[in-house]
Amino acid sequence: MTERHREFDAEHIDEQVEELLRAASEPTTSEDVDQRFVYDLRDILASYDEDQRSVDWAWSRIASRMAQPVSQSRIQRTKRMRRSWLADLRKVPVLRFGILVAACLLLLLVSSVAFALYQAKQNQHLSRTAEIPPSQKGATPTLVQTYATSEAPVYSLEWSPDGKHIVAVIGDTVKSWNALTGSDEKVYPLPRLQGAITDVRWSPDGRLIAAGTGSQLVIWNAENRQVVRVLGAQLPGSDQLIGSILNLSWLPDGKSIEALVSVEGQMLTQMFVIWHVDDGAQQRVVSLNGFATSVAWSPDRSRIATEQNGKMMIWNASTLEKVASYDAVASLFAWSPDNRSLALVVPGRDQHRQVIIYDAQTGAQKLVYSGYGNVNDIADLAWSPDGSRLLSSAWLSLYITTPDGQNTRSTGLRSEFCIWNVVDGTTLYTSAEQNQFLGALAWSPDGSFFAVGESFWGGGKSKEPLAIRIWKVS
């Protein structure tokens, strides 16, 4: 059995190497191997003790630098923390569940914030587009022109795209004239009067004028008054005209025109019809499921709004496909210039009317206008071109209180028009009460003027001459 070697030293290095070589060349027994293993194991343990002493020495140096002596309790506490950490790792399924719950709560929070931002953006957009110039806040309109219509009521009004002329349905006549001077009057001939003239519209380029009369839709050259085309709704394979034209609008390209047609039969039905103006071809017919009490085309002529059986329906004007619907009862409505909002006349308290502004796509309410008092009905609505104001005409019941102060009684009806801010619903101007019924309204394209058409109360005639009055917004 060979003896375990000592550490090498410089003086006996040669002898120690030779001794190791002889030991390696000698045969060894199992007892020698075991003894060598014991020696090696002692070396390992001694090395471990040396490492432990080194670690303890380093830790005590660090602790002394921090002025915090190391205690045995601190070492025990560190060991307990390690064991606790290992125990937590064994609870991974619980941690995963906790993380899932936290993720769901985070998603809910993000969704709420996104919805709040969307609402704020909508309100900011409405406020931005409806900001009233300081010079027009509370401004009083000035009457600049009166166009007498004798005893004939005004049913429909529209400014030309260039803002120079007005076209109107006055009784059973279609007329146009210079809006500010009243000159250059033109009367457009009807091939044959089929019924009441219901609507009149300029083409987008201002070259043509279209009006519905009974089952006919007549199109004129606006300048020379010549009839360009007479259209009508027809059943497939038939030349006979059916139905009555109710409302109409040009499509954006100015080459096609669209109308809502009411057809009487065993039951009253309605349908949208699109014609190509150049050849008069009937391009599309779509029947409505239900009766539309009112209809309005968006300013860009891309969508149509109808009210049917207590629901607002939004349609694609070109394809006549329904794109949105929501609950709302309205007798009259008008699109905002940016095509995003609808002002609806809805029933209020005591059968009176009020105006509510809705998001056109979602049906969310944006504003309720409560500036009217005893309003029996609202005849027309018109947005200013910049989207900041609404012009409305209405007729009201007037009441007086009995001397004892206990009762009130009606003294008749009066009419007025109002201009109000669509952001906060404040009234900017209210006209003097009129004996005539104020009906059709229209803004000039630049928003500097608006026109108000007069009519008379149903079932009678006006005691005073009727007129279309042009007002300038200062």
Q: Which two tokens stand for residue 354?
A: 């009020």
Query: CA-to-CA distance for 215 and 244, rounded, in angstroms?
Result: 4
pLDDT at residue 383, as a whole number: 95
Confidence label for 131 from pLDDT (cuts 50, 70 and 90) = very low
**Residues 287-313: what's their mean pLDDT?**
86
pLDDT at residue 269, as a whole number: 75
| Highest mean pLDDT out of 121-130, 244-253, 257-266, 458-467 | 244-253
The rounded mean pLDDT for the chain is: 75
Residue that has been written with the tokens 């014991």 in this structure:
38
**Residues 212-240: what's their mean pLDDT?**
85
pLDDT at residue 303, as a whole number: 92
Q: Which helix (H) or strand (E) holds 442?
A: strand 437-443
pLDDT at residue 286, as a whole number: 82
Query: CA-to-CA distance for 156 and 444, rounded, in angstroms?
Result: 14
428-449 residue pLDDT tens? 998 876 777 888 999 999 999 9
Q: Is 101 helix (H, G, I), strand (E, B) or coil?
A: helix
10 Å Cβ neighbour count for 4? 13
pLDDT at residue 137, as a whole number: 46
**Residues 291-308: what's their mean pLDDT?**
88
**Residues 396-403: what's their mean pLDDT?**
61
Give 299's contacts (C-beta < 8 A, 6+ positions apart).
Answer: 335, 336, 337, 339
DSSP state of 350: G
Q: Which residues are paired to 169 by β-bridges? A: 156, 174
Is the predicted pLDDT of residue 291 greater than 50, yes or no? yes
pLDDT at residue 204, as a whole number: 94
pLDDT at residue 397, as a whole number: 66
- DSSP calls for 415-441: EEEEEEETTT--EEEEPPPBSSEEEEE
**Residues 210-239: what's their mean pLDDT?**
86
171-193 residue pLDDT tens? 889 999 999 998 999 999 988 76
Q: Which two tokens stand for residue 403?
A: 């001397």
Query: CA-to-CA distance for 176 and 184, rounded, in angstroms?
Result: 8
Alpha-carbon Rg for the chain, nearest whole angstrom, is 44
Report whether 272 contacts 286 (CB < 8 A).
yes
Confidence label for 272 from pLDDT (cuts 50, 70 and 90) = confident
Give the range among 149-153, 246-250, 343-347 with minimum mean pLDDT.
Answer: 149-153
HSE of 327, CA atoms in CB hemisphere, 13 A: 0
pLDDT at residue 130, as a whole number: 40
For the chain, what are the domain ranges? 31-64, 72-129, 136-472
Report whether 222 contacts 207 (CB < 8 A).
yes
Is the predicted pLDDT of residue 128 greater than 50, yes or no? no
Query: CA-to-CA distance for 41 and 253, rounded, in angstroms?
Result: 98
Report whether 449 contacts 179 (CB < 8 A).
yes
Q: Which helix (H) or strand (E) holds 108?
A: helix 92-129
Closest to 168 measured CA to CA, from 141, 131, 138, 198: 198
CATH of 136-472, one of 1.20.1370.10, 2.130.10.10, 1.10.10.60, 3.40.109.10: 2.130.10.10
pLDDT at residue 265, as a whole number: 56
| Residue bearing the bigger pLDDT, 347 or 435 | 347
Is the predicted pLDDT of residue 7 greater than 60, yes or no? no
Q: Which residues are paired to 429 by β-bridges? A: 419
Confidence label for 22 from pLDDT (cuts 50, 70 and 90) = low
pTM, two decimal places: 0.67
**Residues 229-236: what's their mean pLDDT?**
79
Query: CA-to-CA distance for 218 and 363, rounded, in angstroms?
Result: 35
Confidence label for 44 from pLDDT (cuts 50, 70 and 90) = low
Give the range among 31-40, 362-371, 387-396 with minimum mean pLDDT.
Answer: 31-40
63-117 residue pLDDT tens? 555 544 445 555 555 555 545 544 554 554 545 555 565 666 676 665 555 545 5
